[in-house]
Structure formats: C-alpha cells, structure tokens
Amino acid sequence: MKSTTERPNILLIVADDMGFSDIGCFGSEIATPNLDELGYGGMRLTQMYTAARCCPSRASLLTGLYPHQAGLGHMVNDAHVGPAYQGYLRNDCVTVAEVLKTAGYTTLLSGKWHVGGNYIPNRPDTWSPGDATHPLPVQRGFDRHYGMLGGAGSYFDPPYMIRDEALIAEGGSDFYLTDQISDEAVAMLRASDAAQPFFLYVAYTAPHWPLQALPEDIAKYVGRYRDGGWDALRQRRFQRLKDLGLIAEHWELSGRDEAAPPWAEVEHKDWEDLRMAVYAAQIDRMDQGIGRMVQELKDSGRFDNTLILFISDNGGCAEFLAEDSQSPEPFRYDIPTADGRPLRIGNSPSIDPGPADTFMSYDLPWANASNTPFRLFKHWVHEGGIATPCIVHWPAVIQKGAIRHEPLHVMDLMATFAELGDAQYPAVFRGNAITPLAGESFATLLDDHTGESWQRQAPIFWEHEGNKAVRDGRWKLVRRYPGDWELYDMDADRTEVHDLAAAYPQVVQSLAQQYDAWARRCGVRQWPL
C-alpha cells in the first residue's frame, strides 16, 4: 500500500435492497450526485458480491465469514437446527467493530442492525433486546448505536428505535427514517475525537419496502418512467453501463424476466410509474444524507484520509406485497400511523404509494430493471441477487476514476479494514475460539500507484434457501432451487444467458465437489430446513 502518515478513518455505507444499476455512476437515471462524485473521484468495483439476503449479507460483512459461520445461515429467526441457523451472531465470530476497537478505533453505527435475533414489529411486548439471543451493537463492539434492531418498517412511524441500550419512540410529522439515520451519522462524526480514527457503519433501510418517501422527492420522478416503462429503462441502463466501462461490450442483456409483462401490455401505467418514482425518491433522499456526511468530513479536515465504501446488501427485491394474501408479510408491520390512521397494505392500483399510511413494494418488473443487466433478484444467487454496485473513495491512496473487475465479496471487508487499521484478527476473543477468516484482504487493490496486482486465492460460495453457487475464476456454477446446476463463463457471459453445463461436465463436477466440501465445513443444511 501507499504509505500514509496515519491509519484511515473508515466510513462503511450500506443501502438496503438496491439493485446493481440504481445509482448514477452505475448507469442509473436517479439523481445521486454525492455517490457519483465519490464513484468518479475514487474506484468503482464491478464484481463485489453479497450473500443474496439482507441479514446474511450484514452478518458476513460484519464478521469476515460466510453467513452460516456467523449464525445467520437463513434469517434472524432461530431455525432450531444448530448454530449455523441460530438467527443472531455467534460467539465464535468477532465483528469488525470488535477488531478495530482493539486497535484504538472509535466504533459507531447509525441505522439497521438485523443480526441480533428476531423482532416482530407490531409485537414490542415480545422484544428482549440485549439478552443472550438478541445481542445489541453495543454488546458486539460498537461504542455508540442509533437505529433499528429489525429488518424493515415504516419510514415515518417505526415501532421503536434504540439508542445504545434504550428503546425510544420516534415518528410524527417531522420524522423520516432515512434523514434520521443520516443526521445521527453526522452527529456521531462531530462528536468523535479527531485524534482517534473512527469506524462508522451507516446502515440504511432505503430503498427497502415499503414505498414511502417525501413529496418533494417523489415529484422529481413522476412521469419519468411512463414512456417505455421497465423495458425501455433496462435498455437505457444497459447501454449506459457499457458506455461507463462497467460491463463488457460483448455481454448480452438478460431477457425480461418471464414473470414480468411487456410494458405495452400494462394496464395501470401511471400507477406503475408512480411506484418506481417513489422508489427512486428513496434512493435520492439517501444520497442527500450521504452528501451531508461527506461535507462534515471535509469541514473537519478528515475527508482525504477517510476510506468511504458504499454497497447494497443484495440485489433489487421482487417481493409482491399482496393485501389479500395469507403471508405473514407485511401484516407483521400493520401498525397505525402516529396520528391514528390505519395502514393501507398491499400493491393495489387503487392506492397511491408514498404516504405514511401506505405499505407496498415496487414489485418484480421494476426490480428486474434495478438489476440490469442481470437475472433474478434478492433471495436468488444468480447475479441479480448477489451483485452490488461498489464505490471505494480514499483520496490519500486511490487514483481518481479507477475501475476494477476482480471478484470480491462483502466478507472481504473485515480482512481489508483490519489490515488498513493495523488491527489483529484474533484466534481467541473473550474466551471463545474464533473461526478463522473466510474473506481476503483487497487492500493492495486500492493502491494504483504501486502497480501491485491482486488476485483472489479461494473460490466464493453461496447458499440461501437451497439456492447455491460457487465462483472460481471465470467459472460460476449456480442452482436455482429446486432446479439443476447451471454453468456460466463469467468472462464471456456474466449476464448468465448461455448455460454451459452440458458442454463442460467435468467443470460442473469439480465445482460441485468444491461446493459440497464448503457446505460441510460451514454447517449448511439441506433446504427446506
């Protein structure tokens, strides 16, 4: 690495359920000037991967392990099949906050936790924050935390937030969750000791459902998606990604998902346009908050030696929130607004999304556009579910405008941050033997000035609800549960259009054997559990 006079501050920003092409410097039409400035002024990593779902991804990025090794092999509810699926962080892992804290870092978290057990939003009487199965951020290495303990909820009227160990009631006419997460992050920066490096983890819920945004932000986008809808949007973003040099010219755009109708056949075009407009507004508002953080770093003289890394926790979300279904989602979020109005739940064209008393999603066809140029969505381990835009900005080291295409995974963040922060990943912590790191440091990849090359040493593996994959160099073996293995050449066809499994059976067999060995090592169970 290029030498610096001091260790970097680290600002890790995570969006929620945002697709690969949903910010401007990754091909989007959504206004994200602050992220674009960081992207064009730093490095864009085009093959950063997640774990396909929110809490497994967050467990992985926090611990440097695969989700199963950290206790989040499925979700935050205990599956009662062993420690790989216990639903909260295990004691044989450490968080990046715990590791950096031993090296003298101030450790801060503003936003979503979602790795500490289950919290039913409309049953706060059942909550037990801080007990053995519901560890809090301040019990896992963070000096300060403001945010939510669960996975999602109202942007205007969340059931409860927490500050360190105290639950607090929020909501009302002046409250908007994305702004509050941003403002708390800025306040934490201002209160931190300038003589001590900081690690600040900003974990947004935007743009996760429900579709709720501020009217002035929605107004910027109404009508923008009416002409051509998701079909035209996918084509525009695909070309923009090529123009930016983020995807190869010879890759094909994956086909419109078979569950998405052609835009020409859509009946409620104005309502569909509004749904995407609200989704865009949620991202826009998040970017505004990121701008305030950047300005605070500049004002305090810490910007040049702060490593800012931005990702999403998985691809765009295709979940349909149906008001007439028997699914427990979203009814567990059925909480009246602060002024007593009942929640209007579900994706009905009779309801305009956006206000506090609505609860809907933008649905599969728009998620298909968010994940341009890839197939499938959050939950699956095809590229649409696991590929995230990634920005790394660090003026003291990174050359402006750099683009890198090496395969990376969010579990690599622990090793990278520990190396940059001169922190030691422990073999034993608080009396517990700690699982060795699964991630690999990519610190040398960030320094363009040395000419050092970086190459991944081990394959990357995935499993979520029976969906499986392994990435080893140019090859990716992937299975959509309960189907068969598919094989893709990621150099020639990262959009996963041409399945080569029949043409290369020996490659399939070799990668499948590697997957099976990894699954045994990490305690992966057959699905369904």
Going from the N-terminus, what domains does the chain have, and what CATH number goes with each? 9-459 (3.40.720.10)
Q: Which of 307, 320, 329 is nearest to 122 (CA)?
A: 329
Question: Which pLDDT belongs to residue 416?
Answer: 98
Q: What is the tens place of the pLDDT at every residue in 169-181? A: 987 789 999 999 9
In this prediction, residue 6 has a pLDDT band, given cuts at 50, 70 and 90, of confident
Residue 86: strand, helix, or coil: coil
Distance CA 399, CA 404 (A): 12
Query: Which DSSP category does 323 fall into?
Result: T
Q: What is the tens place of the pLDDT at every residue in 298-337? A: 999 999 999 999 999 999 999 988 765 656 677 889 899 9
Tell me the backbone φ, ψ of residue 165, rounded to 5 degrees. -115, 5
Question: Which pLDDT belongs to residue 323?
Answer: 61
Q: For the chain, how long is the longest CA-to-CA vector?
A: 63
Q: Which of 82, 95, 16 is nearest to 53 (CA)?
A: 16
- Cis previous bond, 528, omega within 30: yes
Question: Which pLDDT belongs to residue 324?
Answer: 55
Stated as kind and residue range, the H or E segment containing 403 is: strand 402-404
Tell me the backbone φ, ψ of residue 307, rounded to 5 degrees. -85, 115
Residues annotated as catalytic are: 54, 114
Q: What is the tens place of the pLDDT at every residue in 99-144? A: 999 999 999 999 999 999 999 999 999 999 999 999 999 999 999 9
203 in Cβ contact with 58 (< 8 Å): yes
Distance CA 350, CA 365 (A): 19
97: CB partners within 8 A, 6+ apart: 62, 107, 109, 137, 140, 141, 142, 199, 201
For the entire predicted model, the pTM comes to: 0.98
208: CB partners within 8 A, 6+ apart: 16, 17, 54, 151, 152, 317
Buried b (16+ CB within 10 A) or exposed e, 336-371: ebbeeeebbbbbbeebbbbbbbbbbbbbbbbbbbbb
Distance CA 170, CA 188 (A): 19
Rounded mean pLDDT, 40-67: 98
Give yes or no for residue 4 having a pLDDT over 60. no
